[in-house]
A and B are shown apart, each in its own frame.
Chain A
Amino acid sequence: MADLTSNFIGIKSPNPFWLASAPPTDKEYNVRRAFEAGWGGVVWKTLGEEGPPVVNVNGPRYGAIYGGDRKLIGLNNIELITDRPLQQNLQEIKAVKRDYPDRAVIVSLMVPCEEHAWKAILPVVEATGADGIELNFGCPHGMAERGMGSAVGQVPEYIEMVTRWCKQNTRMPVIVKLTPNITDIRLPAEAAKRGGADAVSLINTINSITSVNLDTFSPEPSIGGWGAHGGYCGPAVKPIALNMVAEIARNSETSGLPISGIGGVSTWRDAAEFMTLGAGNVQVCTAAMTYGFKVVQEMISGLSQYMDERGITSTSEIVGRAVPNAKDWQDLNLNYIAKAKIDQDLCIKCGRCFAACEDTSHQAITMSDDRVFEVQNDECVACNLCALVCPVENCISLDAQEPGTIDERTGNIVEAEYANWTTHPNNPSGAMCNIMPDND
């Protein structure tokens, strides 16, 4: 079995799977269960400053959307930071860290945007023996209305300032958790780096309303007939998170800045994908909230098998492997020609590929009277939709054409040379197209 030991900004854990700051890490009881199940680390649910704890709503805190078979694919919450007393949390963190010295214990923090508030909390957290802190600049509901959470995360200057205060006032590594509720994730990441952050973690949850009750006309989750936007997470947000992680990994300003990947990680495969796009480790929440802590065992065994099969001996070898291949659209090779191919032996003749192509794409699949579906290469643009809507794995593939063969759609010979949009004859601005035109 592969060695999954992880060293993230100097914080060691037996595997790269941490539980994200969220309800599963709100108290000692849960965290002990998580460690017993095998989690490599936890980010303790966000602590606030000393004083009366925050209060939560007393109705439903979560909303969800489902895929097939009522599989939960998106979860939304309107829960706030911990609603338990600071001292109690600190005592529990200390006890857990003492009993599980090999596991990573990070403490998430959110206090008002004033230096004295941070100066006050940092030493007491440090005293617990915790391995590091994560600055919650991402929570999009409730706390943001009080000038914290994503209200900070949406202003790069605040991120930089608070990060700097923390770096100046603690020896613990500082991870800055970023909100996706912005237009360009690179800017807050750059700010965190300027402030001295050891790492960023992302994404926090996305502003969302999961559903509306069509009898009461209340957004859901409904608190007595009213709903407020909450934070969205779970498998459905993974593509958004992967892109944001890649954006930071690719950005020259932030390249090399350690990233803790968060957002819909549900399986070992998701975790590995985040890591290949630059995440040094991953944080998980919704998968655990859906299935319990045991899911980590599949993540451990799956990543081990993957690494063993490829002779990879350290998780660090995976990190960033896909980053060089993550490009802008204009860099893509326009001479790469593929065609859909249907494996007639695997086809169950549902006709979804035909409906999708005929109704919504390029009319490149024919259907015979006896339900044989065939790709017409002279119409197929290789959009991939047929393969995606096919219910049978590997029944439809997108096969690359060899250079020198004819693309039946265009009648052109497939060129071996790489050529992208910037040099394409149809490009009105030629090589200058990567410069955005002025809008005035």
Chain B
Amino acid sequence: MPNTPQTSGIADHRLAPSAYADNFSDLHAPLSDHEALVAADRCYFCHDAPCMDACPTSIDIPLFIRQISTGTAEAAAKTIFEQNILGGMCARVCPTETLCEEVCVRETAEGDPVDIGQLQRYATDRLMAKGQHPFVRAADTGKTVAVVGAGPAGLACAHRLAMNGHAVTMFDARAKGGGLNEFGIAAYKSTGGYAQSEVDWLLSIGGIEVKYDSPLGGPITIDGLKADFDAVFLGIGLGGVNALRAEGEDKANVLDAVDFIAELRQASDLGTVPVGRHVVVIGGGMTAVDAAVQSKLLGADEVTMVYRRGKERMSASEFEQELATSKGVRIIYNAAPVKVTGNGAAQAVEFAYTQDVNGKLENTGETFTVTADQVFKAIGQTLDGAPDGLALEGGKIKVDESGQTSDPAIWAGGDCASGGDDLTVTAVAEGRDAAEAINNKLTAEG
């Protein structure tokens, strides 16, 4: 008998084969030409537009939308890529509802912002579909830069350095580039191998050599990089995962949500990814939502997301929370895990209700139990494997406004660096700006 959502324990193939394609198709279908023109038509071409200010990469949104509306999507794409070379991915994964679209004046006027994210995707898709790269590398400067981490920050940094004529060598611990774009995002946000095609397209500017399976640590040391290159950029992300600090955390099937998300993204057949009948996700961020929603889409019977604070404190946006509940995820607020129970493997999680007492979270003493044969921990990631000797701030590599670390030869950006939200678009901005700072320094050195 084939598996169903009600099959006990952890099982694969809970759904009919065709269901996976439906469940994991594009969250937002791309705009057709007509839809794009209608959407573009709503932009007021604001002066010093609020959406531009809200974009961490400061894309000239009114300009690119006007370019779409006049039938020049390729020019629109170039406007986007000048500020954000990963504008295609950002169009898919940005929480636009808390960035550009939140401040759109049409949100103020009608509660319905211009569909900026989708228009950005429309433009970038058009240009990339033509296989064109809109930038040309400057003449070779003879300078070399090492970029560690081929995620959004590293890619943005490498691209801008290459554009400026420097020779870049990228090192990444994994066998593929893209970082969290490839391994850390819900599958329905980036379909059709988009992350890899974007990396290939980005690298087509030339001047960037990528060494995969090359983690910092082993043979590649920070001192070695400093000796071999004129500058070093670190975009190593957050490799560690916070512990639950709850009893029974070590039981089988208590897993890191990031690993689940990565496994799912790399699966060629989603039916082969096993998922519990009763899944509990602990955490309140995007990773928690991605894990919870995808568990449900894989056919889990009951998925419960538990967050220790109130709804208003949840870092997953309102849109993400609604997405989760619309897919059938149950969200419990104000509850913290006490212990995972089960004989060897998880069978349930006991939670205590919490309350905020003068800014301090305390258990109320009341507890409840949620059945769980699979538990995903999504309570934040931590910096792991940062080179010794670099000053830290708030658990991250301390950087100044230009991205420079306490070592003047090393820059850092993205999730591993202090400052800014842990968003793809923020990482791109930081990588780009560090590249400009590195370029200034290398150019000044002559």
B45 part of interface (Cβ distance < 8 Å): yes
Which among A70, A348, A352, A355 has the greatest number of chain B C-beta atoms within 10 A?
A348
Which residues from B are CB-within-8-Å of A367?
A: 47-48
A356 (CB) vs chain B CBs: closest residue: B47
Question: Is B109 within 8 A of A351, CB to CB?
Answer: no
A349 vs B44: C-alpha distance when bound (angstroms) = 11
Q: Is the CB of B47 within 8 A of A354?
A: yes
Beta-carbon contact of A350 and B37 below 8 Å: no
State whether B108 touches A352 (Cβ < 8 A).
no
Residues of B within 8 A of A53 (CB): none
Chain B's nearest CB lies how many Å from the CB of A388? 14
The answer to whether A355 touches B38 (Cβ under 8 A) is: no
Q: How many A-B contacts at CB < 8 Å in the complex?
A: 34
Residues of chain A lying within 8 A (CB to CB) of residue B46:
349-352
How far is it, in angstroms, between the C-alpha of A229 and the C-alpha of B105 when the chains are bound?
A: 41
Residues of B39-56 at the interface with A, using a CB-CB cut-off of 8 Å, are 41, 44-50
Residue of A nearest to B69 (CB): A68
* Given contacts A349-B50, A371-B50, A391 and B44 within 8 Å (CB-CB): yes
CB contacts (< 8 Å) of B45 on chain A: these are 352
- With the chains together, A84 CA to B47 CA distance in Å? 55
Interface range on chain B (Cβ under 8 Å from partner): 10 to 19
Q: What A residues does B44 contact at CB under 8 A?
A: 350, 352, 391
Specify which of B37, B105, B108 is in contact with A70 (CB 8 Å cutoff).
B37
Chain A nearest CB: distance from B37 CB in Å?
A: 7
Cross-chain contact of B109 among A352, A354, A391 (Cβ < 8 A): A391
Q: A391-B109, A392-B109 are in contact. Are A352 and B41 (CB under 8 A)?
A: no
Contact partners of A70 in chain B: CB under 8 A = 37, 41
Instruction: Pick the most buried of B38, B45, B46, B47: most chain A CB atoms within 10 A of its CB.
Output: B47
Q: How far is the CA of A282 from the CA of B91 in the complex (A)?
A: 50
- Which residue on A lies nearest to B46, using beta carbons? A350
Q: How far is the CA of A318 from the CA of B38 in the complex (A)?
A: 39
Q: Do A69 and B41 have beta carbons less than 8 Å apart?
A: yes
Residues of B within 8 Å of A350, CB to CB, are: 44, 46-47, 105
Interface contact A349-B105, CB-CB below 8 Å: yes
- Give every chain B residue within 8 A of A392 (Cβ-Cβ): 109
Considering the complex, give the chain A residue whose CB is closest to the CB of B44. Answer: A350
Given A354-B47, A367-B48, A371-B50: A349 in contact with B38 (beta carbons within 8 A): no
| Assembled-state Cα–Cα distance A355/B45 (Å) | 10
The CA of A95 and the CA of B108, in the complex, are separated in Å by 57
Contact B47 A355 (CB under 8 A): yes
Chain B minimum-CB-distance residue to A66: B41
- For A348, A350, A371, A392, which residue has the most chain B Cβ atoms within 10 angstroms? A350
A439 to B284, CA, bound (A): 82
Within 8 A of B (CB), among A211-269: none
- Chain B residues with CB under 8 Å of A355's CB are 47
Q: Would B41 and A68 count as touching, CB distance under 8 A?
A: yes
Q: Which residues of B contact A351 (CB under 8 A)?
A: 46-49
Q: How far is the CB of A288 from chain B (nearest CB, A)?
A: 25
Report the Cα distance A367→B45, complex, angstroms: 16
Interchain CA distance A350-B108 in the complex, whole Å: 10
The smallest C-beta distance from A406 to any residue of chain B, in angstroms, reads 30
Contacts of A349 in B (CB 8 A): 46, 50, 105, 108
B47 / chain A contacts, CB cutoff of 8 Å: 350-352, 354-355, 367
Complex Cα distance, B236 from A331, in Å, reads 75
B38–A69 CB distance below 8 A: yes
Quote the shortest CB–CB distance from B50 to chain A (angstroms): 7
CB distance from A368 to the nearest CB of B (A): 11
Contacts of B48 in A (CB 8 A): 351, 367, 371
Residues of A within 8 A of B37 (CB): 70
Which of A69, A351, A367 is the most central at the interface, judged by chain B CB atoms within 10 Å of its CB? A351
Nearest CB on B from A94, distance (A): 46
A residues near B38, Cβ cutoff 8 Å: 69
Alpha-carbon separation in the docked complex, A351 to B46 (Å)? 6
Is there an interface contact between A348 and B41, defined as CB atoms closer than 8 Å?
no
Taken together as a complex, chains A and B put the C-alpha atoms of A352 and B108 apart, in Å, by 15
Interface of chain B residues 15 through 66 with chain A (CB within 8 A): 37-38, 41, 44-50
State in angstroms the CA–CA spacing of A391 and B47 once bound together: 13
A351 to B47, CA, bound (A): 5
| B68-126 interface (Cβ within 8 A of A) | 105-106, 108-109
Which residue, B50, B105, B108, has most C-beta atoms of chain A within 10 A? B105
Scoring A residues 346 to 388 as 1 if CB is less than 8 Å from chain B, else 0, what string do you get?
0011111011000000000001000100000000000000000
Give the contacts of B228-249 with A (CB-CB under 8 A).
Answer: none
* Complex Cα spacing A378 to B242, Å: 61
Q: How far is the CB of B288 from chain A (nearest CB, A)?
A: 34
Q: How far is the CB of B60 from chain A (nearest CB, A)?
A: 14
Mask: chain A, 74-93; 1 = CB below 8 Å from B; 0 = not: 00000000000000000000
Q: Whole-angstrom distance between the alpha carbons of A70 and B71 in the complex?
A: 13
Name the B residues within 8 Å of A391 (CB-CB): 44, 109
B280 to chain A, nearest CB (A): 44
How distant is A372 from chain B, measured CB to nearest CB, in Å?
A: 13
Q: How far is the CB of A373 from chain B (nearest CB, A)?
A: 9
Binary contact readout A36-72 vs B (1 if CB under 8 angstroms, 0 otherwise): 0000000000000000000000000000000011100
Residue of A nearest to B47 (CB): A351
> What are the residues of chain A within 8 A of B50 when measuring CB–CB?
349, 371
Q: Which residue in chain B gives the minimum CB-CB distance to A373? A: B47
Shortest C-beta distance, B43 to chain A (Å), equals 10
Residue in chain B with minimal CB distance to A69: B41
Q: A352 to chain B: which residues have CB within 8 Å?
A: 44-47
Question: Within the assembled complex, what's the spacing in Å between the Cα atoms of A102 and B37?
Answer: 46
Chain A contact residues, CB within 8 Å of chain B: 68-70, 348-352, 354-355, 367, 371, 391-392
Extra contacts besides A348-B105, A350-B44 (18): CB < 8 Å? A69-B38, A69-B41, A70-B37, A70-B41, A348-B106, A348-B108, A349-B46, A349-B105, A349-B108, A350-B46, A350-B47, A350-B105, A351-B49, A352-B44, A352-B45, A354-B47, A355-B47, A367-B47
Can you report 12 A-B residue pairs in the complex whose CB atoms are below 8 A from each other? A69-B38, A69-B41, A70-B41, A348-B106, A348-B109, A349-B46, A349-B105, A351-B46, A351-B49, A352-B45, A367-B47, A367-B48
Please list the residues of chain B having a beta carbon within 8 angstroms of any beta carbon in chain A: 37-38, 41, 44-50, 105-106, 108-109
The 6 nearest A-B residue pairs measured at CB: A351-B47, A355-B47, A348-B105, A350-B46, A348-B109, A348-B108
